[in-house]
Amino acid sequence: MPDRTARPKPPIPASIAACDPAWLDFDTFTGSDWLYTYYDRVGIALYVGRAVDPYRRAGGHRSKSVWWRFVANADVIQIDLRDPHITEPELIAARRPLFNIRQADPTSPVRAIEYAARREAWDIVDQLTARLWACPHCGEVA
C-alpha cells in the first residue's frame, strides 16, 4: 500500500535550501507575519507554523524540536492577517504535518510515531509515545 502521507514537494524559493536557518534572509522576513512548512527529503510535511520572525523561529526549532533532524526543505509565505483564507489552522488541515501534534488531526501522533520508527529514531518514538499517554491536565504519564 502506498504511503498516503507523502506530498509532492512545493516550489521552494531560491533563498530557501538547507535545514540551516541561515537560508532565511533576516531583512526580508521582518515586519510581517509568515506561515512556514518544513518538509523532509521526500516532501512529507513535518511541521507548519506561523511567526513574525521565521529566522529566529527556525533557530528555536533547530535547537529544541526532535523532528528538526529530518528537515530538508521549507516553504515560507507572507500572509495578510486580514485574509481569512490563509491561516495556520487551515494550512495545518491542508498539509497534515506529522509533528503538529496538538493542532493536527487525531491520527497525527500515530503517524509521527510510525514515521520516526521507520527511520529508527527511537528517541523520538519514546518521547511521542510518552506524550500520547500523558495526562492532558498535569502531564504525568499514566
- This prediction has a pTM of 0.67
On the CB side of 4, CA atoms within 13 Å amount to 5
Q: Which of 21-25, 54-58, 68-72 has the highest mean predicted lDDT (pLDDT)?
A: 68-72
Q: Quick count: other Cβ atoms within 10 Å of Cβ 14?
A: 7
**What is the C-alpha separation between 35 and 136, in angstroms, rounded?**
27
The predicted pLDDT at position 71 comes to 93
- Whether residue 115 contacts residue 124, with contact meaning beta carbons closer than 8 Å, is answered with no
* pLDDT over threshold 60, residue 138: yes
Q: What is the CATH number of domain 21-133?
A: 3.40.1440
Q: List pLDDT tens digits, range 61-96.
A: 998 988 999 999 999 988 876 666 678 888 888 888
Higher pLDDT, residue 23 or 141: 141
How high is the mean pLDDT of the chain? 75
Q: Retrieve residue 126's grid coordinates.
A: 519514546
Tell me whether strands 73-79 and 33-39 are parallel, antiparallel or unpaired: antiparallel
